[in-house]
Amino acid sequence: MQVIYVEKALRHHPRVLRIINRFQQPEIIYCDHYREVFNRKAQNFRLQKQNPALLLAEKPGHRVLSTPKGFGIGGIENYYFSHMLNCLYDCRYCFLQGMYPSAHYVVFVNYEDFMHDIRNQIAQYPDKTVYFFSGYDADSLAYEPVTGFLAEFLPFFAEQSRAFFELRTKSANVNALLKTKPLKNVVVAFSFTPSLISEQVEHKVPSVAKRIASLKLLADAGWSIGLRFDPLIYANHYQELYAQLLEDIFIHLNVASIHSVSVGPLRFPVKMYDKLLALYPEDRLLAHPLQRRNHIYTYREDKEEAMKQFLLQHLQKYLPKTLLFECQAS
C-alpha cells in the first residue's frame, strides 16, 4: 500500500497506528473526512482498482442495517454491517463497482461502536436470535491481516448468545479462524462459481480448488460451513459446470459440517448496470443479453428459473432440502 489517508481525528488511534505499521513507509495524507477523497467527482474506478489507496476512517452512524428483502438463511431478524468498503477482489458481477465512485479501500476503525450497535439490536429482540452478516460491502476475510477484524469480532460474538454471525468470503486465507476455537453461532460462508466461470469473471480471487481446500480445513477444525452459489452465472453448458463444482466440493466436505446453502440469481440494479457497462464495455458477462425486470437487470426469467431449479435439485443429491435457501432478486 503506497498511500494511506487518515482522518485527522484518528491520527493517534491505536488501531490506525497498528495498521500503518504493517506497511513499509507509506505516504500518509491526513484529511478531515474520508469522503473528501472517496466521493471526489470524475474518479475512474477501473484505473483505481489497479492501485488503490487505503482510507482509515470512523463510521459515525448507520453502522448496523437491515438486510435487503429476500436475503437470509432462516432467521427472521436479519442485519448486516460493514467494517470495510470495497474489496481486494475484482469480480465483474460485483455491485460495488456501480455503487461507489472510488475503488479505494475504506476501513472503519471504530469497532467498539459497531459492537455497541449490535448489542442494542440484539436487545430489541429478547426472545429471538438475531442474524448478522459481514461480507456485503467487502470480503470478510481477505484483508484480515491488515484489519484484525476477526481477532476483535469473534470474541465479541462468542459472548452474544442470542446472535448468529455469518462471515461471507471468497478468500482462502483462513489462518485467523484456524487459530480460534470454533463458535456455534458463527458460520463461515464461501461463495462459489464453477472454475471455468470463476477464471473469467472473478479476477484476483483464489482458485476454486484453493477455496475448497480452505473450507475443508475449517470443517475439519469444527467450524460450520456455508455454501453460497450467488450469483448463478449462465454458460452454454452450465449444467456440467455446476455439477462438477458440487462434486468437487462434496468429495471434500462432510454434510454434517454444513450449516446452510443458498442460491441466488445474477442481478444488477439499473443505475449500477449502466455504470458497469461504461467501465467494462468489452466484458462478456455484461454483454450477455439481460432482461430488465422492475428495477434490475438479470437473465431472462425462464433461463434464471431453469438454472435455479437445476442447482437446487442437484444439491439435494448431497444434502437435505432443509439446508437450502433461495436469495431473491428483489
Cis peptide before 14, with omega less than 30 degrees from 0? Answer: no
The predicted pLDDT at position 21 comes to 96
Name the pLDDT band for 303 (thresholds 50, 70, 90). very high
Kindly report which listed range (134-148, 191-205, 278-292) carries the lowest average pLDDT score: 278-292
User: Residue 226 above 70 pLDDT?
Assistant: yes
- The rounded mean pLDDT for the chain is 93
Contacts 24+ apart (CB under 8 A), 20-27: 20/56, 22/145, 22/146, 26/1, 26/2, 26/54, 27/2, 27/3
The predicted pLDDT at position 121 comes to 98
How much is the average pLDDT of 149-172? Answer: 97
* Nearest residue to 263 via CA among 166, 329, 330: 329
- Complete domains list, the chain, with CATH: 58-326 (3.80.30.30)
> In percent, how much of the chain has pLDDT > 70?
99
User: Residue 329 above 70 pLDDT?
Assistant: no
Q: What is the DSSP letter of 73?
A: S
User: Residue 278 above 90 pLDDT?
Assistant: no
How much is the average pLDDT of 87-116? Answer: 90
